[in-house]
Structure 1
Amino acid sequence: MNYLKKTFVFPLLFFILSACVSSPPQHPDNICSIFQEKRHWYHVALKTEKKWHVPFSIPMAMMYQESGFHSNLHTKRTYFLGFIPWGYITTAYGYPQAKTDIWHEYEHVTHQRSSRENFADSLDFMDWYITISHQQNNIAVQDAMQQYLAYHEGWGGFRRKTYLHKPWLVNVAQKVSIRSSRYSHQYARCEESLKDKSFWSWLF
């Protein structure tokens, strides 16, 4: 009996742990492929969109731009004396490339402990940030370009229009807007096929 339990439990545990491994999707340019590969992400995206009323195509496009969907991405490393690793340029980290101070503010406001390496936490953070950008700077939550500029420059920086001195950033924001629109159109074509409510589909 114990042997049978082990032969069932160990493989199940292996598959569950394998499902939790944080690796970027193989085809990040296509939201349908992302959600087919990362079924949990699909359910998280729908849940988060319902919670914040922010189209998931926007934070997903922003996340692609910020980290390429890499869960443990750091900013560029700094070096002491030119060769000794000595921290990073900024504290931006994880899926959302959120800096530590704003991440702690998010945790304080939402009364929860979160991880920038966790996709669900990161998407929730980005929707929270987008919502505050709408409240403070009157940026429509559907405006991917302006939302990305506020995300990159901060709420105060956006009000001061610091992005006007950074033409490269405006170009990047335009790319984020295009990607968000592309994600939205792609999802419209695969929405029905993604509606699989089985337990294993949700888990994997």
Structure 2
Amino acid sequence: MGTRLPMLLLCVTVALGAAAPSAVEARRSATVRRVVRGKGKTGRCRKLFRACVLAAAMLATPGMAKAQVPQDVNNVCSIFREQPAFYEGAVASEKKWGVPVGTQLSIIRHESGFDKHARPPPKKVLGVSIPFTHQSTAYGYPQALDGTWERYKRETGRSGAKRTDPKDATDFVGWYVDMTSRELGISKNDAYKQYLAYHVGQSGYRAGDYNSGHEASARRVRATAAQYQQQYDSCAAELAKPKPTMLQSLGNTLGGLWKRATGGGN
């Protein structure tokens, strides 16, 4: 929880303190002018209290208190420590689909930059961007098109899957790479060709419908995939260790305080 609970308590204290009348005010006669002034003050206090509650709620809600994009996108171990859902999803996807963790995360990074609400640029007419339009329906971490995402949900039975969910995104990438491997014969370890097929589509890859820009992007994906995989191999054992639950952490903290208060438990 960190500073979240103290901040909430401080906000409540300040708001209530501001709302409480002083002894002098309590003794004053309730003239119309003072009544109006009191109402104004009460309104301000309510706004202050609501603002404090909203701030505390944001701090208490995962993903709101911190940026959605990982702080260090160049280090997959750092990404996994900061956002465990990516770690859990990538490991599960590798086990299910046989797609390396490094390849999964590299595709997501170069498709969306780990921005859960990423969308393609707006459409343009005569060089002018048209508001509320996009060049395609690609969305979320994996930048999956609407039609492809619906197919993924049907074929995997994950009807509630969301493109903004790290676990669903990594599972989707694994599913797509596995399908590409079966349909086009591309190795799941070949991040370069897999990304070309991922970005232009399997039919586009089969028809050779990609250019030098796509090839340059695929080379970057391949380099990042190798980097991520090497990093992951160095921290996989650490990340696999079971993490204590919140209740266990609280128990450990209270146990430490008790030992301190009783002189080490002697």
**TM-score after normalising by structure 2:** 0.65
* Partner AA of 1:144 in structure 2: A
Larger Rg, first or second structure (1 or 2): 2
Contact 1:79 1:86 in 2 (8 A): no
Q: Out of 220, 236, 240, which is 1:195 matched to?
A: 240
Quote how far apart the aligned CAs of 1:83 are. 6.5
2:82 aligns to what? 37
2:180 aligns to what? 133
Quote how far apart the aligned CAs of 1:200 are. 4.0
Q: Residues 17 and 119 (structure 1 numbering): CA distance in 2 closer, same or farther, change over 3 Å? A: farther
* Partner AA of 1:28 in structure 2: V
Quote how far apart the aligned CAs of 1:187 are. 1.3
Q: Which runs of 5+ in 2 are unaligned?
A: 1-8, 10-52, 247-266
**Count of residues in Structure 1 that have an aligned counterpart in Structure 2:** 189
Quote how far apart the aligned CAs of 1:20 are. 4.7
Moved more, 187-196 or 103-112: 187-196
1:4 aligns to what? none
1:104 aligns with 2:147: no
C-alpha separation between the residues in 1 aligned to 2:110 and 2:129? 29
* Partner AA of 1:138 in structure 2: G
Q: Out of 191, 194, 211, which is 1:147 matched to?
A: 194
State the Cα deviation string for residues 77-117 of structure 1 (Å, max 9, x = none): 23679465142111011100111111111112112221111
Q: Residues 160 and 83 (structure 1 numbering): CA distance in 2 closer, same or farther, change over 3 Å? A: closer
Q: Residues 169 and 84 (structure 1 numbering): CA distance in 2 closer, same or farther, change over 3 Å? A: closer
State the Cα deviation string for residues 60-85 of structure 1 (Å, max 9, x = none): 10100000000001111236794651
C-alpha separation between the residues in 1 aligned to 2:241 and 2:58? 19
Q: Residues 17 and 40 (structure 1 numbering): CA distance in 2 closer, same or farther, change over 3 Å? A: farther
Percent identical among aligned pairs is 32
Q: Out of 61, 68, 87, which is 2:133 matched to?
A: 87
1:26 aligns to what? 71
SS in 1 for 2:131: strand
2:121 aligns to what? 76
Q: Out of 97, 116, 140, which is 1:52 matched to?
A: 97
Contact 2:85 2:167 in 1 (8 A): no
Quote how far apart the aligned CAs of 1:16 are. 9.6
SS in 1 for 2:61: helix
C-alpha separation between the residues in 1 aligned to 2:115 and 2:80? 16
C-alpha separation between the residues in 1 aligned to 2:198 and 2:147? 14
**TM-score after normalising by structure 1:** 0.84
